[in-house]
Chain A
Amino acid sequence: AQSVAQPEDQVNVAEGNPLTVKCTYSVSGNPYLFWYVQYPNRGLQFLLKYITGDNLVKGSYGFEAEFNKSQTSFHLKKPSALVSDSALYFCAVRPTDSWGKLQFGAGTQVVVTP
């Protein structure tokens, strides 16, 4: 069975500093990997995905993520955080042999202070 772990419930960072949100996964076979962001009382917004190809994926709002197969990780990064990046971030995985169904992590709350 597949699983996703986001080891940090909350990440605190000062505005202008680099932001990293960690995600590790366990799936059979090759995974499709996703990051979504959720603002209070809102649905999830798609940030980026890894399907195949280059391990470094660039997405919306200056975010990027690196797929590391040996470490089974897909950490989300942003070089310079903004106060407006404060939100709840979810990592999700789908095994390539399980059409459609995403397994989400528990989420990481990001707090960016001015």
Chain B
Amino acid sequence: EAEVAQSPRYKITEKSQAVAFWCDPISGHATLYWYRQILGQGPELLVQFQDESVVDDSQLPKDRFSAERLKGVDSTLKIQPAELGDSAMYLCASSPVGGAVEFEETQYFGPGTRLLVL
């Protein structure tokens, strides 16, 4: 069964350092999402891509966060500089596009990257 891949699984960094997370969606999935999940809360969308284009980045703290999906396949989320409050699980998800809405709507999540900022 195809899965969303993410790396690293765990990252410990000091505040003010730069960190980067990588995501490889399920093959053929045109839509890619980055979510942040703070402990004890549900995931919150940071950015959504349709192929290589950003569809929604309204909740992305653009002063320190950036995301790219240059070739419309895999994606990188970067934080620079990291702050203590960035400690969270960063989840990547993908979904197909095209065809019936019932097929498009399901988002499939990767295992996540747990970030700890010291």
Contact = CB atoms under 8 A, between A and B. Distances in A.
Interface of A: 4, 32, 34, 36, 41-46, 49, 51-52, 90, 92, 94, 99-102, 104-107
A107 B56 CA distance: 24
Given A99-B55, A100-B56, A43 B45 contact: no
Contact of B107 (A51, A52, A102, A106): A102
Contacts, number: 60
Interface of B: 4, 6, 31, 33, 40-45, 48, 55-56, 91, 93, 95, 101-102, 105-112, 114
Contact of B109 (A44, A94, A106): A44
B101 A43 contact: no
A20 to B, nearest CB: 19
A90 B48 contact: no
Contacts of A92: 42
B59 to A, nearest CB: 9
Given A43-B91, A44-B91, A90 B102 contact: no
